[in-house]
């Protein structure tokens, strides 16, 4: 979320002297200068809207506020978890369990260690953990009491402990963290889902009044053999000079829903309905569904890169110039890379060459996003987007380039 607060909208505290006479003078002045009175009302409205935006941001961040101290930070006063690796015993806290191993924070420093199950010779925790395992994602609760014969022992004592094959572990978190943290419950219960929400507000009052709102939503669900990804962007902006008409300088929408189904190996089928709208560029509506087959060149926890090809259909409704439609090919690529500390770089490319005239009919667009986490779940996001098409309006042109910088709430 982003807001721009106009300092002139801030009211001075405390009653001024001769309040009655001053109010009379102000009232008289406003009667003599209606535009100034209207401007004052606009200042107050912008100020109140910015206050609402700040309250909304606080509401979105409230679920992420910690409800108890960091376990590793209190290791000096509380008994620590113990993990032994290559005859070296580490003390701290088990933060999370995953398919490949555990994340562990030590009492000796900051940061998380990723330790594979194969390397763990001994593990004993003081608190209980909630662990999901198996194809049906069954649940087990209890202390971690060790690893024997590639099985994790979970329970209150070794004799009655449940034995879970480490290869079947899906995820695991502290039972206390799960019970007390809304965000942890959300991410655990909907672990196949991920998403982010962007909301930007900008109100400017001066020689030129500007009002802008921008909304973005990205949601992805991935559970083999399927993957779904939804992307939605909308921006609206008006501009008005003093004693001039109000102009709409931005009214644009972009949305798509990607569906994938794994075939064999790294091959998959895909379907991609998509829609655009950009009133300043005289595009009332544009739809361009496509379908085909794709291949994942890289598909790991840190990286994804895939290419796809097929056929599509483009329908366009232009202001003044009427409608246009054509069959097309469909060429696309998508990539994502997760750096350390939660930094993510991702991008997407789509190209629809017209059939049989790719020089006269085409649609090309790409975007790249760099997301840098700030305070969970808040992140800074920088986006670059380019659209190139066969726009028939000579005063608009075929190319549009946009860059944005704002805040996003990730979930």
Cα distance between residue 309 and residue 90, in whole Å: 50
Max avg pLDDT among 8-12, 102-106, 396-400: 102-106
The answer, yes or no, to whether residue 150 has pLDDT greater than 70, is yes
**Residues 254-276: what's their mean pLDDT?**
96
CB atoms within 10 A of CB 87: 6
The answer, yes or no, to whether residue 291 has pLDDT greater than 90, is yes
pLDDT, tens digit (0-9, with 9 covering 90-100), for 8-30 = 333 333 444 444 444 444 344 44
| Segments making up each domain of the chain, as ranges | 7-11+21-64, 71-176, 193-410
Q: From residue 8, how far is each of 19, 43, 44, 210, 318 by CA, in Å?
A: 21, 7, 9, 15, 41
Tokens 């704002």 correspond to 406
Least confident range from 72-81, 143-152, 360-369: namely 72-81
Q: Are 40 and 240 in contact (CB under 8 A)?
A: no
Q: What is the pTM of this model?
A: 0.70
What phi-psi label fits residue 145: left (phi over 0), alpha (psi between -120 and 50 degrees) or beta? Answer: alpha
CB atoms within 10 A of CB 133: 23
pLDDT, tens digit (0-9, with 9 covering 90-100), for 44-67 = 444 555 555 555 555 555 544 443
Superfamily, domain 193-410: monomeric porin ompg (2.40.160.40)
| DSSP per-residue letters across 261-279 | EE-STTEEEEEE-EEEEEG
Q: Are 168 and 211 in contact (CB under 8 A)?
A: no
Closest by CA to 232, choosing from 211, 255, 248, 250, is: 255
Cα distance between residue 124 and residue 104, in whole Å: 12
**Residues 310-315: what's their mean pLDDT?**
97
The answer, yes or no, to whether residue 384 has pLDDT greater than 60, is yes
């Amino acid at each position: 979320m982003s807001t721009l607060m106009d300092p002139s909208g801030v009211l001075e505290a405390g009653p001024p002297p001769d309040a009655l006479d001053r109010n009379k003078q102000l009232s008289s002045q406003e009667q003599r200068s209606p535009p100034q009175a209207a401007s004052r009302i606009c200042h107050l409205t912008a100020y109140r809207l910015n206050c609402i935006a700040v309250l909304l941001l606080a509401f979105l961040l409230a679920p992420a506020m910690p409800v108890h101290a960091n376990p590793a930070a209190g290791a000096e006063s509380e008994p620590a978890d113990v993990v032994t690796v290559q005859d070296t015993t580490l003390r701290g806290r088990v933060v999370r369990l995953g398919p490949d191993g555990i994340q562990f924070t030590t009492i000796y420093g900051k940061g998380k260690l990723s330790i594979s199950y194969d390397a763990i010779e001994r593990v004993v925790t003081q608190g209980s953990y909630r662990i999901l395992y198996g194809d049906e994602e069954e649940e087990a609760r209890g202390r971690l009491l060790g690893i024997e014969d590639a099985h994790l022992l979970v329970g209150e004592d070794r004799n009655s402990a449940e034995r879970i094959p480490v290869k079947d572990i899906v995820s695991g978190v502290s039972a206390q963290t799960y019970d007390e943290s809304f965000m942890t419950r959300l991410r655990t219960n909907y672990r196949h889902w991920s998403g982010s929400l962007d909301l930007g507000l900008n109100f400017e009052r001066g020689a030129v009044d500007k009002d802008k709102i921008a909304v973005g939503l990205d949601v992805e669900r991935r559970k083999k053999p399927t993957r779904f990804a939804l992307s939605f962007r909308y921006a609206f902006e008006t501009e008005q000079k003093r004693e001039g008409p109000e102009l709409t300088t931005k009214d644009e929408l972009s949305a798509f829903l990607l569906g994938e189904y794994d075939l064999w190996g790294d091959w998959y089928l895909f379907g991609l309905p998509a829609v655009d709208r950009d009133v300043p560029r005289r595009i009332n509506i544009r739809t361009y569904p496509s379908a085909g087959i794709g291949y994942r060149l890289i598909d790991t926890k840190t990286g994804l890169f895939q290419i796809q090809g097929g056929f599509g259909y483009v329908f366009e409704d232009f202001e003044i110039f009427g409608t246009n439609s054509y069959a097309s090919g469909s060429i696309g690529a998508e990539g994502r890379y997760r750096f350390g500390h939660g930094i993510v770089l991702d991008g997407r490319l789509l190209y629809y060459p017209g059939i049989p005239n790719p020089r006269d009919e085409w649609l090309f667009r790409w975007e790249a996003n760099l997301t840098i986490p700030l305070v969970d779940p808040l992140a800074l996001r920088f986006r670059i987007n380019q659209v190139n098409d066969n726009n028939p309006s000579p005063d608009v042109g075929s190319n549009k380039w946009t860059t944005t910088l704002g805040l996003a709430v990730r979930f």
